[in-house]
Chain A
Amino acid sequence: ESLSVSRCVVHPPMELLPTEPEQAEAGIAPNQLPIKVNADRSEAVAGDSARFEGNVKLRQGMRQISAQSAEVSQLEGSFSAQGELVYQDPAVAISADSLNADMDDYNAELNRAQYWLRGQQVHGKAEQLKIEGENNLLLSSATFTTCPQDDPDWLLEAKEINIDANEEWGEIWHAKVKLFDVPVFYVPYMTVPVSSKRKSGFLFPEFSTSTKNGVDVAVPYYWNIAPNLDATLTTQYMSSRGLFLRGEGRYLQPYGAGQVNLEYISGDRLLDDSPDRYLIHFEHAGKLENNWRLYGNFTTVSDDNYFNDFDSDVSASTDNQITREGEASYFTDKWDFAVRVQDIEVLGDSSKPFQVMPSLSFDYRNPNLWGPLDFTFGTELTHFAHKESDHLTATRWHMEPTLTLPYQTPAGSLTTEVKLMQTFYEQRDPSDQLEDFVSRTLPQFRLHGQVNFERNSRFGDGSYTQTLEPQFQYLYVPKVDQSDIGLYDTALLQEDYYGLFRDRRFSGLDRIADANQLTLGVSSRFFDGNHAERAQVSVGQILYFDDSEVGLGDDQSQIRSSNSALAAELELQASRRWFLSGSLQFDTQSGDTNKSEVLVDYRANADKLIQLSHRYVPNLGTDTEGNPIDINQAGIRTTWPLSDELYFVGNYYYDLNLSRSVESYAGLQYESCCWAIRLAYYRHLNTNYEDGDFSTISPRDDFDSGVTLKFVLKGLGSSGPLGVQDMLDEGVFNYRRPYYLRN
């Protein structure tokens, strides 16, 4: 690949020693190793000093110095050399005029030197270069660059540079950055990573302009406090808003890892009363040796639009909820226990969810309790509090013993499951509509079977093994009136093919729907010669023998028809690079489509792909006038290398109902070995919340657009192509938000 590591890594113009010590010398401290000198001629006073002439080569362990002439004084342990001098060790290679060194405490001083960090792109010149200790380089009036050419595109001239090779980062004082020999800016002090272990990131200033923030300059500063503790402090100046400060501290300890984020802008000039705006975020996840796990997550922001207006390190504009959570859990083979508190704050919406203060859950598993019967018992005690003072609160205790009889052979499987669900509620309802004390007992019977057929079949160019896997599930839950139970953490579950085989229609525990239904489904898979799954198609539907009357008080959550929508899924790898996938939910009675999604992917590699997509989801919500809102969206996404150095990244999502683009993003990135420039235009529907209340989802034609120009100095830390992954993150549709995986 063009910008591969090999083309960009700088090769010092001298023959290099291996970086691994020979076996014999591996264990011994470097300055304890014997010094071996080769030369054409030598004069010595035994045991005192010696002088060598004629392409002298002095070697101690993995360090080697070659020169025209050299003097060694064994008594003072000092050494000096002159003439075409080359010094090298596993971390650095240096050519210089002269060198004098102290062999006991293992440091050396070279003048008018040229240095190369081995295996890195970092190199430059220095009037004076000191090597201290293992491999700590102190350069004075030096230059520093990562561009491989002799006259580099960018160059840093600094009064002092200190490169610590085993901490793998460098400090630079009084640096003048020259771009194509033009001094561009001056930085009094900065830190740079010199190996990929360190957080490389973009530690050089970034410039961008956008309609929202005007001209925007962000200067990150990476502070490496300790091997397992670092911080990144970023000052960002936005011409239309003011000075925005962002700090992120990360720690990694044996008992757990976490991060703290503080972000603050005093007087945001873009808003009329120019308020102070801030974010405070803390997150910790840890495993203690005695099987305990701790997780904590706290975020608070000054206002609802915070994530829309600022590019925070914590969330993106599409996140409309912030959580405050804490959990301690204990795991063993047979059972696990967790205590959790959870308070979700919804941005831009007046409705406030219940708070879980706390919930205690205990799950016990005992396979083969009696012969083939498996037994599991789950219980959860939850107290639902609420922010508003005189609001409904409740305590719920739920128990669920289950007996399962699994039977599995290669040809098929049959699973019989009997479950008893017992729930007690103690509800404090200020408006007295709900009972104070409710007990609900519900048995459940589930029978799931699957048969596996297979045959060899030819399909297009190859021969495949095709499987046919029909499966059925019968579910029975009697009807119990639950209208006197409040809705705390329950809502209607969305259905797709996999949802057909669930035993519940509602999330949470406050509504357990009555059911007398049979789900039928069939999947077929195609495996190629070396067993890779090349295609998979599944179709399924539920047949309701009775109506299901338990609901959430609106008619949409009850079932009155004789069968569910037909759900189908398709995944096909047509060739090495072409992929087709789709899913469909089709209402066989009314004949209309409840949901359809089609994706066509051409994927050559991570940086060369095109994806065409279409989504159709009718009446997903209702706007203020009450007419239904449909999602009917077509999209195209691509990243494409136009040449070895030039990449195009593009997004275009189009709302077919309102025939307008929802997001269009076009970005070009030119990347050479040591720098990259990124120009991107974006225009997307404004995702911020107007005056706080956001109950309506009616159409709004208020767009956000901007141009960002980012200049990036590359080759610090990780060499090799930058790729466009993080550029992809900038679009609304591409940003991927990581979740903490609770167990």
Chain B
Amino acid sequence: CGFRLQSNYQFPEELAQIQLNSADDQGELHRLVKERLRLANIEVVEDDTAPRLWLGQDHLERSTLSLFPSGQVAEYELIYSVTSSITVGEQAPQSFNIEIRRDYLDDPRTALAKNRELELLLGEMRAQAADRIMRALSSTRIDSETAH
């Protein structure tokens, strides 16, 4: 059916070395992205001329999805959002907003356990966001003259 293994290198070779800085460079998102860069053997460097991946401050919000017939909240929705951008050479920064939604059933009878579930979901959403950032990185537009 025409499928072939993704053989060409996922990331444009201009991005073999990039700078990684973020609003919270000790935050977990920063660590997850750094880990994925390492696995995709993209070298994280300090020099200013390299393309620059910027991770904005991430945010978590909760909104109500459904109510029990009694009026008590049945399901919540967790919305994790972060903006990130990649700047290559003189090109204008390409920014992308990532929003990940997971729904979650809150149960007052097991409040502490549900709080642990929320932290687990947050970790999963951050991992998903890190994957999306890597996918966005792999689809960065490079117009050759300005890049060098």
* B68: chain A residues within 8 A (beta carbon): 620-621, 629, 631, 697
In contact, B116 and A617 (Cβ under 8 angstroms): no
In contact, A697 and B70 (Cβ under 8 angstroms): yes
Contact with B along A284-308 (1 / 0, CB 8 A): 0000000100000000000000000
In contact, A739 and B60 (Cβ under 8 angstroms): yes
Residue A562 at the chain B interface, CB threshold 8 Å: no
Which chain A residues in 139-159 approach chain B with CB under 8 Å?
none
* Nearest-Cβ distance from residue A637 to partner chain B, whole angstroms: 11
In contact, B75 and A615 (Cβ under 8 angstroms): yes
Residue A460 at the chain B interface, CB threshold 8 Å: no
Which chain B residues in 55-95 approach chain A with CB under 8 Å?
58-75, 79
- Among the stretches A105-113, A669-677, A718-726, A727-735, the one at the interface with B is A727-735
Residue B10 at the chain A interface, CB threshold 8 Å: yes
In contact, A491 and B107 (Cβ under 8 angstroms): yes
Question: With contacts A321-B108, A735-B63, A737-B61 known, is A367 near B114, CB below 8 A?
Answer: no
- Say which residue of B6, B24, B139, B141 sits within 8 Å of A453 (CB atoms): B6
- Say which residue of A467, A620, A698 sits within 8 Å of B74 (CB atoms): A620
**Residue from B7, B65, B120 having most chain A Cβ neighbours under 10 A:** B65
In contact, B120 and A597 (Cβ under 8 angstroms): no
CA distance A217 to B102 in the complex (A): 38
* B63: chain A residues within 8 A (beta carbon): 733-737
Shortest Cβ distance from B60 into A: residue: A739
Which chain A residues in 696-732 approach chain B with CB under 8 Å?
696-700, 702, 732
Contact with B along A587-603 (1 / 0, CB 8 A): 00000000001000000
Shortest Cβ distance from A347 into B: residue: B108
In contact, A527 and B128 (Cβ under 8 angstroms): no
Contact with B along A613-637 (1 / 0, CB 8 A): 0010100110100000101010000
Residue B38 at the chain A interface, CB threshold 8 Å: yes
Interface residues on B, range: 35 or more
* Nearest-Cβ distance from residue A333 to partner chain B, whole angstroms: 8
In contact, A685 and B116 (Cβ under 8 angstroms): no
In contact, B4 and A353 (Cβ under 8 angstroms): no
Shortest Cβ distance from B3 into A: residue: A453
CA distance A699 to B69 in the complex (A): 4
- Say which residue of B9, B75, B124, B141 sits within 8 Å of A410 (CB atoms): B9
* B74: chain A residues within 8 A (beta carbon): 617, 620-621, 631
* A347: chain B residues within 8 A (beta carbon): 108
* A576: chain B residues within 8 A (beta carbon): none
In contact, A493 and B70 (Cβ under 8 angstroms): no
* A356: chain B residues within 8 A (beta carbon): 112
Which chain A residues in 422-476 approach chain B with CB under 8 Å?
451-457, 467-468
Which chain B residues in 1-27 approach chain A with CB under 8 Å?
1-10, 24, 26-27
In contact, B28 and A508 (Cβ under 8 angstroms): no
* A493: chain B residues within 8 A (beta carbon): 117, 120
* B110: chain A residues within 8 A (beta carbon): 353, 491
10 residue pairs bridging A and B, Cβ less than 8 Å apart: A291-B26, A320-B73, A408-B39, A455-B3, A455-B4, A489-B115, A531-B139, A621-B74, A696-B70, A741-B58
Interface contacts beyond A336-B26, A406-B39, A743-B28: sample of 20 additional A-B pairs, CB < 8 Å, sorted by A: A344-B112, A367-B35, A408-B40, A410-B7, A454-B4, A488-B112, A490-B116, A496-B102, A507-B114, A530-B139, A531-B140, A531-B141, A615-B66, A620-B74, A621-B74, A694-B108, A741-B27, A741-B58, A741-B60, A741-B122
B residues neighboring A (CB under 8 Å)? 1-10, 24, 26-28, 31, 35, 38-40, 58-75, 79, 102-117, 119-120, 122, 124, 128, 135, 139-141
The 4 closest A-B pairs by CB, nearest first: A531-B139, A491-B113, A699-B69, A453-B3
